[in-house]
Amino acid sequence: MREIEGGVCAPRGFRAGGIWCGIKAGSRKRDLALIYADTPCVAAAMFTTNRVKAAPVLVSQEHLAGGILRAVIANSGNANACTGEAGLAAARLMAELAAGEFAIRPSEVAVASTGIIGVPLPIAAIESSVSSLADSIHPGPAGHEAALEAIMTTDTRKKAAALEIEIGGKALRLGAMVKGSGMIHPGMATMLCFITTDAAISRELLDRALRGAVRRSFNRVTVDGDTSTNDTVIVMANGEAGNAPIVSEGPDYALFAGALETLCVKLARDLARDGEGATRLVTVSLNGAVDEAAAELLARTVAASSLVKAACFGADANWGRVLCALGYAGVDFDPAAVDLRFAGAAGEILVCKAGAPVPFSEEEARKILSQEEIEIRIELAGGGTGAAVAWGCDLSYDYVKINGDYRS
């Protein structure tokens, strides 16, 4: 497995592009993106678990039911959520417009939107720009970069990755882009993520691999406790790598699923690092729970704690907040069997042993917690073999500033 360049355009047979069409007043940033496959793809997807679902989510759910996609059209600047029947009509029209440019069926086009909730989508701006969007797509890194910029909102970093693996003597590639900075919390994936691959794989196994990858990556990220109305993860596989189709679980499937999980974990970390107002990436690793599910819930609860996040922002070794968060996670464990360490590039320090304080240097702890990336390491002594990792970020003053005037 090796990292390569090109994002969603790294796999063979995919093109992408992005343009500015004027969705959000006063902005000249690219805001309309397209990913296009030269041949039909088997596709799988996961969507928000929020009961309030944006129009593009509802339309894409309908289209993904057929299991075949050729394109994804996405916009930023407006979520097209809570917009009623007009919003549904606009989302369907987006698919129809993109399909018309390539003489494919609207059901072969997925739709995604991100931005302000509760504001009608200015569909006329999209309608007048789709031809230019179709003309902008490119098979190389430039196409990927343009599409990635077009889906970003409050993101401060571009988040993308691509990998190459070998199966049966054939080189298979996977590429992805993701946007997300706020409204990030487990419940599905809590952002927009588009993944392409030239692997030949059945839809059933593609779906299984995606669900496993999301469970151990995007569903373990939390920024602010809010699950969006627009969460979408889509993977498209066109089979152009020429490998023997992966149609059963075995070594080939395990290798592909592992690569997909690796890709998603990298992007999940990038999401947490780019949390709105964040100054630190916080990794919570937990060992010794009764099983993986319990370990995951415990780790996620610590990562989501506002008090833990605030302490990380202040580089304050307030380890009691970590134990407090473990205690309300709803998981049975022995509080008197918890060991806790803070770690990072500046070292590692034990701050709690068997659920009780131990002498430690506050100065050393502050030095460790002042790094850009820090880790909270939790061991449940005498517990089980369950282990999990969750990712979050600190909670800074800037989070309130960003979200206090987001709509304006």
Catalytic residues: 190
* Angle formed by the axes of helices 55-64 and 84-102, nearest 10°: 50
Q: Which residues pair with 247 in a beta bridge?
A: none
The CB density around residue 16, as the number of other CB atoms within 10 Å, is: 32
Strand duo 192-197 + 232-237: pairing: parallel
Task: Determine the Cα–Cα distance for residues 48 and 57; give it in Å rounded to an integer.
Answer: 8
Report CA torsion sign: 260, 298, 337, 376. Answer: positive
Question: Angle, to 10 degrees, between the axis of helix 306-313 and the axis of helix 320-327?
Answer: 160
Residue type, 390: A
- How many Cβ atoms from other residues are within 10 Å of residue 169's Cβ? 8
Q: What single-letter DSSP state applies at residue 219? A: G
Residue 347, SS3 per DSSP: strand
Between CA 123 and CA 314 the distance in angstroms is 44
Q: Measure the CA–CA gap between 117 and 20, rounded to whole angstroms.
A: 20
All residues at 6 or more sequence positions from 368 whose CB lies less than 8 Å from its CB, including other chains = 342, 343, 344, 346, 347, 348, 349, 374
Q: Can you point out the beta strands (E) in 109-245?
A: 109-116, 159-167, 170-179, 192-197, 232-237
Nearest alpha-carbon partner for 377 in 281, 269, 283, 285: 285
129's tokens: 């720009």
- Residue partners of 337: CB distance under 8 A and separation at least 6: 288, 354, 355, 380, 381, 382, 383
